[in-house]
Each structure stands twice: as C-alpha cells, then as structure tokens.
Structure 1
Amino acid sequence: MLTFKNFNIADWFSFYRIFSAPFLLALVWFDQRLIFTWLLLVSYSTDAIDGYLARKLKITSPRGSQLDSFGDQITLILGLIGLFYYETDFIKTNLVLILIAFVPYILQMIIAYSKYGKATAFHTYLAKLSAIMQSAFILWSLFFSPNYPLFYIMIGIGLLETFEEISLIFMYDNWASDVKGIYWALRDKRRLKKK
C-alpha cells in the first residue's frame, strides 16, 4: 500500500504540477494573466528540477517517470488553455498549423494507450527539447506576445518528437521509460523482453 513516505522529493515536484492545476485554471477564470503566467513558469521549472533530482539522487523509477509525464501533460494543457484564452486571435490565425502539430500527438497517445494501457514515458532528448521549446513559446507569448520564429521552431521540433515517439512505441513490445531516442532504443535490451 502506498503512503506519503513512499514518494520521494522528485515525485513531490511532479505532484506540485498536478495539484496546482485547479488553482491555475481559477486564475484564468478570474482573468489574472500575470499571476497565471508566473505560476506557470514555476510549474515548468519544477519539470526541470524533478528529473534532475531523480537522476542526481539516483531515485528514478517507472512510477516517477509516469508521474513526471502526467505532470508534464497537465502543465502543457494548462499552458495551452492560457494561450487560447489570452491570445485567441493568434490561435485563430494559426489554427491549421496548430492542428497539423496536434493531431499526430493525439494519434501517438491513442497508439500508446491501445498498446500499453497508459501514456509513454520515454523522456527522449527530443522530447526534452520539445518541452523546452513549448514552454519558451507559451511563456514568451503570455509575458509579451507570440513570437513567430519561436512558434515555427516549436511546431517543427514537436512534430519530429511525436514521430520519434510513435516509432519508439512500435519498437517496444512492452512499456519502457527513460529511452534517450531511437539510436539508444536500437541498443536497448528491454525492447526484446517479453512479459
């Protein structure tokens, strides 16, 4: 049975991202753009901190990887909600390109859930780069205004990362966490393990 003492410091940073979601949504509801943006920045920062701590303290685990991924997804959704609410004209103008990037991501999630029964937690280098670009674009847009070069770079890297993620799903018969990328997957003995 899991209790509070079963979770480590890195897990609690992931929990912060998850538990802060209702509060961040309330800030959008009450049109508190600046406070929302600063607290979203804190959430994005905890994403960088939890992974670093887990590796540094050697407390990585499949559960921690899943918590981290779930916290990442929540934070991304909150960032997109803020962007949709505060930069509606930008979203409407670029809706086709946004959908071109978003549809493969949804497809990747469907494939992962149908194969593994849960989201992936590969945490590839490309996924980390994509997360940095997404957070940079969303935060820049919310603090200032949308930046088109940053937007196009984010879309391009996001598509590459999604296609890599889909490829990795087909490469791994069983759910696996912390795969650095396709090159490393080709050398990973976990790929061939059976249940």
Structure 2
Amino acid sequence: MNKLICFSVIIFVRKYYIHIPILLIYSRLLFSAIILLLSLTQPQYYRVIISTLLVTGLITDVFDGIIARKLGVSTVKLRRLDSFIDQIFWLSALVGSYLICKEFFKENTLLLGVLLGAEALTYIVSYLKFKKEVATHAILSKVWTLTILATLVQIINTCDSSWLFATCFYVGIITRIEIIAILIIIEKWENDVPSLYHAILIRRGKPIKRNKLFNG
C-alpha cells in the first residue's frame, strides 16, 4: 500500500509540476484579496498576517520565474501574466496600507502621487509605443521591490516611515526613469530586459546575457 501511495504521488508530481510557476503567480492574486479583507476588517494579529503575506508574496514572485525557467515553461505570456498580477498584488498592498494608516498617506500625498504617476507613465509609454504593458523585469526594479516591501511592512506595523520611505521614493523614481529609457531605446517590445545597458545592446542587434536567477 505504501509503495502504491508513493508511486501515485510521483506520477502526480511528474504530471502537474509544470503548473507550479502559474500556481505561484496566482497565489499572489489570492494574497491580494486576503490583504484587502484583513485591512478592512482588522481582526486580531492582522498586521502580522498581512506582513507575512507580503513577504510570502515576494518569495513567490522570485521563485515563479526561476522555477519556470528551470522547467522550460517561461513563455512571454507567462511573464506578462506575472507582471500584471504583480501590479495587482502591490496595489492591493498599497490600498491595504492606506486603510490601516490613512494619516501617513495624507502626510505624504505629494510624494506618493509623484511615484504613482511615474509608474503610470511607464505603462503609458509602453502602450503608446508597443500596445503592450511593461514587462522589462529590470534588475534594478527588483531592488526597488525590496524597498517597497520593507516600507510597506514598516508602515503597516507602525504607521510611520522616514528614511525607508525616502529611499523607496528615490529608488522608485530612478527605476521608473530607467524603464522609460529602456522602452524608448528598444525598437520592438521585449520582456526581461535586465538594464538600460542591455537595452542599448538590443538596439544595436547584439546578444545579451541574462542572469538565470532573474531574467532567464
């Protein structure tokens, strides 16, 4: 019986393991809904739970791409879906943070507006030029994601953030400028462009090296 169970598990894993990346991607959609619900209802330990979901969501974001590339299922469609759900996840986290700590957002309305405007501008440029959303997955943008996570966790748990929020703001502006520059430089839509330097190489028709952990 034990051998039969083990054999069945092996068959199941072999048959469905290729779906792991997309399950990790969609898990962030579920986390988004839970974060918003907890932010609205604010039950006991909701701050800890939301912080845990944010960290877990970031981990799934890191590993969905790595696993997809290892399994050979990293397609353009999957990367575009990844980018789309990432936006939903982080926007949900931002809305949740606002519901928890409205005063912080009122005090930093201008900076937040500039940052969100810069993010929106990257999508406007991409849609105007390529009729597609942004999916560059630049390495520097991944660094910005870490600062977003740290800032949101601090805001959710303390309703305050000083130098960490400032760091997040400036890194965010720099990375949005880089993405816009990448979009302007490349002649056709590309996903997984590691940096501005790589965009210049692509424009010149030269091959680029992508980090296996971050860009396949």
> Does the alignment reach a TM-score above 0.5?
yes
- Contact 1:173–1:191 (Cα < 8 Å) also in 2: no
Q: Which runs of 5+ in 1 are unaligned?
A: none
- Contact 1:124–1:180 (Cα < 8 Å) also in 2: yes
Change (3 A) 1:190 1:50: farther
Change (3 A) 1:29 1:128: same
> 1:36-83: per-residue Cα shift (whole Å, max 9, x none)?
332233222211221232344443221121121112101110111111
Distance between the aligned counterparts of 2:123 and 2:64, measured in 1? 23
Of 22-31 and 164-173, the range deviating more from structure 2:
22-31
State the partner residue of 2:99. 85
- Contact 1:124–1:178 (Cα < 8 Å) also in 2: yes
- Contact 1:104–1:162 (Cα < 8 Å) also in 2: yes
State the partner residue of 1:123. 137
Number of residue pairs matched by the alignment: 189
- Contact 2:186–2:200 (Cα < 8 Å) also in 1: no
Consecutive aligned runs of 4 or more in structure 1 exceeding 3 Å deviation: 55-59, 189-192
Distance between the aligned counterparts of 2:142 and 2:163, measured in 1? 19
Distance between the aligned counterparts of 2:178 and 2:134, measured in 1? 12
Q: Which runs of 5+ in 2 are unaligned?
A: 1-15, 207-216
Is the aligned partner of 1:9 residue 2:20?
Answer: yes
Q: CA deviation at 1:153?
A: 0.6
RMSD: 2.4
**Partner SS for 2:201:** coil
State the partner residue of 1:178. 192
State the partner residue of 1:96. 110
Is the aligned partner of 1:26 residue 2:37?
Answer: yes
Structure number with bigger Rg: 2
Identity %: 26
**Equivalent position amino acid for 2:55 in 1:** L
User: Structure 2 residue aligned with 1:61, among 75, 82, 89?
Assistant: 75
- Contact 1:15–1:67 (Cα < 8 Å) also in 2: no
TM-score, structure 1 length as denominator?
Answer: 0.86
Q: CA deviation at 1:120?
A: 1.0
**Equivalent position amino acid for 1:39 in 2:** L
TM-score, structure 2 length as denominator?
Answer: 0.78
Q: CA deviation at 1:135?
A: 1.2
Distance between the aligned counterparts of 2:204 and 2:39, measured in 1? 43
Write the mapping of 1:136-175 to structure 2, written as runs, cut at 5 A: 136-175=150-189
User: Structure 1 residue aligned with 2:128, among 92, 103, 114?
Assistant: 114
Distance between the aligned counterparts of 1:191 and 1:165, measured in 2? 19
